[in-house]
């Protein structure tokens, strides 16, 4: 590799960071929209509207550190939306990473003075899939003493009106469909997951095993645009991602990949032609 190419390779990541930073601070640009068609977001809104008044929602919180940044703004809007609807939320994690992220989110809710009687931490259950199976038999209410804890201790998962699953690479909506939904009577499952899980979750959405799914940045943005959080705006992400930095990152990726792809394809064609001529 020549000195010039080596220098360019070293500068490229820094230049990318500067470019993304600049795109982040630029205000809204006309012609760009992250929300897209919003079909998935409408499905979510319909599912939430179908819940009874003041529903008990079990939140399976198992995102991973790598992909949580993608779904975090949507998750925070969703929690604010659910609380604004009068929902009572019981959080549980079955992965260590999910638990770490949940502790941070519960801490944030406490600092933002979310109503503590409507939030219950069921803690961490080790065992991944085995833990999910045990959730279907008994919820780990522990020493909780509030009315929500008492209801869940008495009724178990039967007292839950819906389960919202925040998925990650280890445990996601698919595990809930397989291990929990099959052991409960008509518990509606709603899910938020990173894009990487979309292809494996799409069949569950189409079969109705998942009532609603947000699994792309576009679906998340459409949901955030339409959510009604009332006076709970303080619970939202301070600076959710705009379309411009995402567009810049995607264009850089397309250019870098296309340059290598076209170069390799061209040289392959040249080699074939040279072989034919000889």
Residue 20's SS3 state is helix
Token reading at 32: 């760009």
Q: Give Cβ neighbours of residue 121 (< 8 Å, ≥ 6 apart).
A: 91, 102, 106
Q: Are 201 and 172 in contact (CB under 8 A)?
A: yes
Measured from the CB atom, the residue of 67 and 84 that comes closer to another protein is 67
Measured from the CB atom, the residue of 125 and 139 that comes closer to another protein is 125
Sheet of 119-124, strand order: 119-124, 88-93, 56-61, 162-166, 189-192, 212-214
For another protein, the binding residues in 123-152 under the rule CB under 8 A are 123-128, 130-131, 133-134, 137-138
27 binds another protein (CB under 8 A): no
Measured from the CB atom, the residue of 50 and 104 that comes closer to another protein is 104
Q: Which of 4, 10, 27, 31 binds another protein (CB under 8 A)?
A: 31
Pattern 160-189, binding to another protein, x per CB under 8 A?
A: ----------------------xx------
Measured from the CB atom, the residue of 83 and 124 that comes closer to another protein is 124
Q: Give Cβ neighbours of residue 125 (< 8 Å, ≥ 6 apart).
A: 92, 93, 94, 131, 134, 135, 140
Measured from the CB atom, the residue of 99 and 118 that comes closer to another protein is 99
Q: Which of 25, 154, 254, 269 binds another protein (CB under 8 A)?
A: 254
Q: How far is C-alpha 228 from the geometric centre of its chain's CA atoms? A: 19
Q: Give Cβ neighbours of residue 166 (< 8 Å, ≥ 6 apart).
A: 59, 60, 61, 62, 63, 71, 75, 98, 191, 192, 193
Interface residues with another protein (CB under 8 A) are: 13, 16, 30-34, 36-37, 65-69, 96-97, 99-101, 103-104, 106-107, 121, 123-128, 130-131, 133-134, 137-138, 182-183, 198-200, 202-203, 216-218, 243, 246-247, 249-251, 253-254, 256-258, 260-261, 264-265, 268
């Amino acid at each position: 590799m020549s000195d010039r190419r080596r220098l360019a390779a070293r500068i490229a990541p820094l230049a990318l960071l500067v470019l993304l930073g600049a795109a982040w601070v630029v205000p809204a640009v006309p012609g760009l929209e992250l929300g897209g068609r919003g079909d998935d977001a409408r499905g979510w809104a319909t599912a939430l509207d179908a819940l009874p008044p003041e529903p008990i929602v079990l939140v399976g919180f198992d995102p991973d550190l790598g992909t949580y940044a993608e779904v975090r703004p949507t998750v925070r809007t969703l929690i604010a939306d659910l609380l604004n609807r009068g929902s009572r939320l019981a959080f549980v994690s079955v992965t260590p990473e999910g638990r770490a992220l949940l502790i941070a989110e519960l801490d944030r809710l406490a600092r933002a003075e979310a109503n503590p009687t409507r939030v219950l931490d069921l803690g961490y259950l080790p065992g991944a899939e085995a833990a999910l199976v045990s959730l279907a038999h008994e919820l780990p209410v522990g020493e909780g003493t509030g009315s929500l804890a008492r209801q869940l201790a008495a009724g178990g998962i039967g007292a839950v009106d819906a389960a919202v699953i925040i998925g990650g690479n280890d445990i996601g909506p698919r595990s809930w469909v397989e291990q929990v939904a099959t052991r409960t009577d008509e518990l509606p499952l709603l899910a938020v997951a990173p894009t990487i899980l979309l292809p494996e979750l799409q069949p569950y959405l189409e079969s109705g095993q998942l009532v609603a799914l947000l699994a792309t940045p576009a679906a998340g943005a459409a949901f955030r645009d339409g959510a009604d959080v009332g006076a709970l705006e303080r619970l939202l992400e301070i600076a959710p991602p705009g379309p411009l930095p995402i567009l810049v990152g995607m264009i850089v990726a397309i250019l870098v990949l296309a340059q290598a792809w076209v170069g390799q394809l061209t040289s392959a064609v040249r080699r074939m032609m040279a072989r034919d001529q000889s």
